[in-house]
Amino acid sequence: MIVNLSQQHSLISNWVGELRDVTIQSDRMRFRRNLERIGEVAAYEISKVLPFEEKEIQTPLGTAVHKVLKEYPVLATILRAGLPLHQGLLNYFDQSDNAFISAYRKHHKDGSFDISLDYVSCPELENRIVIISDPMLATGSSLVKTIHFLKDEGQPREIHIVAAIACTVGIEYVKREEPSVTIWCGDIDDELTAKGYIVPGLGDAGDLAYGPKMQM
């Protein structure tokens, strides 16, 4: 399943617009906060499809029966660009275990690149629900490699992906490699550059959130 959170107008459309806007995105704090907001809304929407159970809660005047999450999902993110989006998810799934993955594009002189995955820190994943956040789902290569790596640690019961902006090319690749995943995105674009950047996209989310990096 693919969910475009901007398909029905809401504040997410405003926030994605600010992420894209060259006159606004230079404000790093605002850029990070907008990613965080999108993560919060995505968490709320995902929570609607997670398993719940009824629980009796004691109040000062009696008891109330409430539906509560049966289990909290594991929140995973790809460093460094995914951190603000991850924080938004964590603000709502505040009892979740967390996983962190270092995956980046290793560029070659001819302009091509490979996905290098150097570090993974994660809890027990067997039969659990996992939500992976990555602000830009471009080619989908880093996400697929991340999913394969996580599955080596344990087989999740469900996998959800949260992206601020996704490209149809990357969505198709991810669904081809991992057909059971659900993708939640702030908006969907249709084009990629030869270097794998989304068009119109927003640029490099990691650089906009945390400053430019040396190219590896």
d(Cα 79, Cα 213) in Å, to the nearest integer? 13
Closest listed residue to residue 160, CA positions, set 184, 140, 137? 184
The whole-number pLDDT of residue 212 equals: 86
Please, are residues 16 and 4 in contact by the beta-carbon 8 Å criterion?
no
The whole-number pLDDT of residue 117 equals: 73
d(Cα 202, Cα 149) in Å, to the nearest integer? 28
Please, are residues 168 and 201 in contact by the beta-carbon 8 Å criterion?
no
Give the β-pairing of 191-192 and 198-199.
antiparallel
Residue 216, token pair as written in the block = 């590896």
End-to-end CA gap in the chain: 35
Give the list of residues 6+ apart from residue 48 with CB closer than 8 angstroms, or none: none
Query: How would you write 86-124 as a 3-class SS string?
Result: HHHHHHHCCCCCEEEEEEEEEECCCCCEEEEEEEEECCC
CATH of domain 2-51+70-105+114-210: 3.40.50.2020
Task: Count Cβ atoms within 10 A of the Cβ of residue 71 and give its class: 0-12 exposed, 13-18 middle, 19 or more buried.
Answer: middle
d(Cα 19, Cα 44) in Å, to the nearest integer? 20
Count of beta carbons in the 10 Å neighbourhood of residue 181: 20
Please, are residues 135 and 81 in contact by the beta-carbon 8 Å criterion?
yes
Per-residue pLDDT of the chain (216 residues; tens, 9 = 90+): 999 999 888 999 999 999 999 999 999 999 999 999 999 999 999 999 999 999 999 999 999 999 999 999 999 999 888 999 999 999 999 999 999 998 666 655 665 556 677 788 899 999 999 999 999 999 998 899 999 989 998 999 999 999 999 999 999 999 999 999 999 999 999 999 988 899 999 999 989 999 887 665
